[in-house]
Structure 1
Amino acid sequence: MENRRQEILDAALEVFLERGFDSATMAAIRERSGASTGSIYHFFNGKAEMAAALLKIATSQWSLQSQAAGLADDPEQAVKASVAGFLSWGLANPRLFAFMDDLLARSRFSQDFTPVGDLIDAGRKAASDAYAAWAQAKVVRDLPWNVSYALIMGPAYAILRNSAGGAIDQSDVAEIVQSAWLSVRS
């Protein structure tokens, strides 16, 4: 049963990347996955729910790569682990990264993406709260979360977008990871 769900998600990702989210159809996903319409709707109410499921997979894989969740008491290690994990995950999963990147942009402007937006908002709230606690402890600069997030994650997003799934030199990864911390530390 779980295999069928994953097969549908794998097919959805490919269709979304080939056609774009708006042009992707449930029929194309059904055809690509080999699943029946009933099977697809057993697992998902529609494309937005599939997108949210793909985002959950992406963020859980990123979290496993970074293991930053357990490092909340050490802001430097949490920031560095999160950025390093994100880069590692994005390089290993360029197609899922491309979809996630597109999804994040879309989620801000479309009500169709409510499940995605809710998931993103929950993650941002947790990260914002952790950063605020670090700022209160004067370990990081007291900046608005949007600015802090851009300083921490912006360069990682940029290099992944520009790498087109290619390799990135490990010295560049190390520089981005170190710069993320230096940009926000007190």
Structure 2
Amino acid sequence: MIMVESTSYRRETTAMRRQVILMAALKLFATKGYTETTMEDIRQLSGASTGSIYHHFENKEKLALALYLEGRQDLNVRLQIVMNTPGLSLEETVKGLVSAYIAWFVDNPDLGQYVIQADSTEYLSAQVRFLQQSSDAVSQHVMAWLRPIINARHIAPYPDQLYIPLLFGPSREFLRRWLRSRQDIDFHQIQQELGRAAWHTLRPDP
């Protein structure tokens, strides 16, 4: 029993240390930029040892990719909660997805900006484009939820490639603009209006 607790504690400590390193990297990438940030900068800000840094991340490129994956996976969890909530109507779920999408970026502005900008960065763009096509991408999870709804014709008929842009595209563009200024606005109203717009676009013909 003591051995199990000790192993569990070590794993928890290792996971926490990894998270601290990632958050230090995010702060430095946001303030200094990726190119100017060194692994030594990340080590100093995180308080981790050199050995610990390289135990978790082979190099800065792998660390940058891990940070992107961390954000994408966390956003996916937020959306999965909405899709797995029992008792919601289709309209409530569509609006809930838009609301959860916006809320995640508001709760994680630095990480959100990093995720949004990742596909246009030289050091991540190729890997991000590949990952966006993979089976664990956010869009793939949402499309898996939408598939039976599309097949049952409970939602407006569009080519498959349009559903994700129509659902999240306006919100993403709003967030891209907001993340530049971080101005104080009424996000509840924004969530309501963009959710209503998404449903208006995706709802089946009356």
Q: Same fold (TM over 0.5)?
A: yes
Partner of residue 64, structure 2: 51
Question: Is 2:93 the partner of 1:68?
Answer: no
2:131 corresponds, among 118, 128, 135, to 118
Deviation at 1:153, TM superposition (A): 0.7
Question: Is 2:54 the partner of 1:41?
Answer: yes
The count of residues paired between Structure 1 and Structure 2 equals 184
Q: Deviations over 1:150-174 (max 9, x none)?
A: 1111111122222232333222220
Structure 2 SS opposite 1:160: helix
> Which amino acid is 1:95 matched to?
D
Q: Which moved more, 1:34-43 or 1:16-25?
A: 16-25
Q: Using structure 2 for the length normalisation, give the TM-score.
A: 0.74
Distance in 2, matches of 1:78 and 1:108, equals 36
- Is the CA contact 1:152–1:180 (under 8 Å) kept in the aligned structure 2? yes
- Is the CA contact 1:83–1:153 (under 8 Å) kept in the aligned structure 2? yes
Distance in 2, matches of 1:110 and 1:125, equals 19
Correspondence list, 1:118-137, <5 A: 118=131, 121=134, 122-123=136-137, 124-137=139-152
Partner of residue 85, structure 1: 100
Distance in 1, matches of 2:36 and 2:190, equals 36
Structure 2 SS opposite 1:142: coil
Distance in 1, matches of 2:122 and 2:98, equals 22
> Which amino acid is 1:70 matched to?
N
Structure 1 SS opposite 2:84: helix
CA RMSD of aligned residues (A): 2.9
Q: Deviations over 1:27-52 (max 9, x none)?
A: 22222222222211111223343334
- Is the CA contact 1:83–1:177 (under 8 Å) kept in the aligned structure 2? yes
Q: Deviations over 1:76-102 (max 9, x none)?
A: 333222210111121122111111111
Deviation at 1:13, TM superposition (A): 0.3
Structure 2 SS opposite 1:138: coil
Q: Which structure has the bigger radius of gyration? A: 2
Deviation at 1:183, TM superposition (A): 1.2
Question: Is 2:200 the partner of 1:182?
Answer: yes
Question: Is 2:41 the partner of 1:28?
Answer: yes
Deviation at 1:141, TM superposition (A): 2.1
Distance in 2, matches of 1:32 and 1:20, equals 15
Structure 2: 5+ residue stretches without partners:
1-13
- Is the CA contact 1:58–1:100 (under 8 Å) kept in the aligned structure 2? yes
> Which amino acid is 1:40 matched to?
I
Distance in 2, matches of 1:60 and 1:91, equals 16
Distance in 2, matches of 1:102 and 1:81, equals 24
Structure 1: 5+ residue stretches without partners:
none
Q: Using structure 1 for the length normalisation, give the TM-score.
A: 0.81
Q: Deviations over 1:82-135 (max 9, x none)?
A: 210111121122111111111144499744x36x84376322222223333221
Distance in 2, matches of 1:3 and 1:154, equals 34
